[in-house]
Amino acid sequence: MDRTLLRTAGAAVVGALVTLAIVAIFSSARPQPAAPLTVAPTAPAAPAAASSPREPRKFEDVVVSTEWLAQNLDNPKVRVIEVSVVPGVYERGHIPGAVNFVWTTDFVDTVSRNIIAPERFQELARAAGINNDTTIVLYGDNNNWFAAWGAWVFRQYGAEDVRLLDGSRSKWEAENRELSTRAPTYPPGNFTVRQRSDLRVFLPDVLKVVRGEDNRVLVDIRSPDEFSGKIFAPEGFQELAVRAGHIPGAVNIPWKKALRDDGTFKSVEELRQLYAEAGIDGSKPIITYCRIGERASHTWFVLSEILGYQAALYDGSWTEYGNSVGVPIANPAGTIWGVK
């Protein structure tokens, strides 16, 4: 056989082996993921997380404009997070530097019906380069529905500075602002979960209100037809309750009323008036709920974060309440399951 050919082949094999060796060394030297941190789900909340509402913050400190965000994209103290419902929306172009949080896996437990476990959440937040003093700005599609849900989870786990992008993703797009398809990487942050218990309520808490043992007020943010019991759920939604109507004593203020036509929040004064007209003026603690808990987090954000009222979210919402046995229900429309 031709010697030159043999030599060439030999060189090629050696080259391939060297390349393999280099790849092997580099891949084994890659930083290993940090050992999971354990925070007991039932650990008593740190005393720092007080249960009293904090001082109302300025509107600009909880809702940021697209202009502010555009100027702060390189600010190392600011971390932008996208929470969109439609798959592929973040990947095909997000606000430069924004981290993707998927609501079905990163904010909820995938097995039991619950929010994400604190230790897992802490891992995700640290991987996104979030520290305890980071300003977290959330945005997403669908009028920030799940961005607001994300804000609620962040606040529950002790993040202090959590803001929403006014007008959601659609305003940023409508203004033809910069988008990027590159997934960012950040050095790990040191975010430590400090669980608060005052932003979330469960069925027994709601029943106390219904029985008059608690002076909280209930805000149902679903459509008037769901509230009255004419329909079980809007068309196309799979999650249902076997009873129609609402929790007795709740007032109905659809979530969208907090927004202007262009999707931005109404002014603080307009918002205060909107809820005051329905008797929600912040003098009593508030519980918001909807069907599965996500739209109600939008109203929770308005009441708790923008207006500074003491408000909690009942994330079990109507799909838990309307399916529960033996609970009192208000059903003005008289719709009965399975019977005409």
Partner 1 sequence: MSNALPGSSPADRAASSKPELTAADMLRYGGAALVCVTLLAGAWLLQTTPGRGASAALSLLIGAALGVAFERGRFCFFCIFRDFIEQRNAGPLYAILTALAVSGVGYAIVFGAFLPNPASGRLAPDAHIGPVSPALVVAGLAFGLGMALSGACISGHLYRLGEGSGYAPLALIGALIGFGLGFRTWNWLYVAVIADAPVVWLPHWIGYGGSLLLHLAILGILAFALLRYIPPLPPRPARKLDITYLREAIFRDRWNPLVTGALVGVIGVAAYLRVEPLGVTSQLGSLTRTVMAQAGWLPARLNGLDSFAGCATQVVQTITDNGWLIAGLALGSFGAALLAGRFQPAWPRAGGSVTALLGGVLMGWGAMTALGCTVGTLLSGIAAFALSGWVFGAAVFAGVWGGIALRLHRWT
Binding site for partner 1 (CB under 8 A): 87-88, 90-92, 102, 105, 170, 174, 181-183, 185, 236, 238
**30 or 58, CB closer to partner 1?**
30
Give the nearest distance from C-beta 111 to partner 1 in angstroms.
14
Structural contact between residues 99 and 80, judged by C-beta atoms closer than 8 angstroms: yes
**Concatenated DSSP letters for 128-191?**
TT--TTPEEEEE-SGGGHHHHHHHHHHHHTT-S-EEEETTHHHHHHHTT---B-PPP-------
Catalytic residue among 218, 290, 302, 312: 290
- Catalytic residue list contains 135: no
Sole residue written with tokens 């994400």:
116
**99 or 313, CB closer to partner 1?**
99
CB 117: neighbour CB atoms within 10 A?
A: 15
**73 or 127, CB closer to partner 1?**
127
**94 or 196, CB closer to partner 1?**
94
Structural contact between residues 121 and 157, judged by C-beta atoms closer than 8 angstroms: yes
Sign of the torsion angle spanned by Cα atoms 65, 66, 72, 78: positive
Q: Which residues, other chains included, contact 192 with Cβ-Cβ below 8 Å and sequence gap of 6+?
A: 122, 132, 158
Give the nearest distance from C-beta 32 to partner 1 in angstroms.
13
Q: Among residues 201, 231, 178, 167, which one has the least CA distance to residue 311?
A: 201
Give the nearest distance from C-beta 153 to partner 1 in angstroms.
19
Q: DSSP class of residue 255?
A: G
Give the nearest distance from C-beta 236 to partner 1 in angstroms.
7
Give the nearest distance from C-beta 23 to partner 1 in angstroms.
9
Report the alpha-carbon distance of residue 109 to residue 175 in Å, rounded: 35
**25 or 325, CB closer to partner 1?**
25
Residues carrying an active site annotation: 290
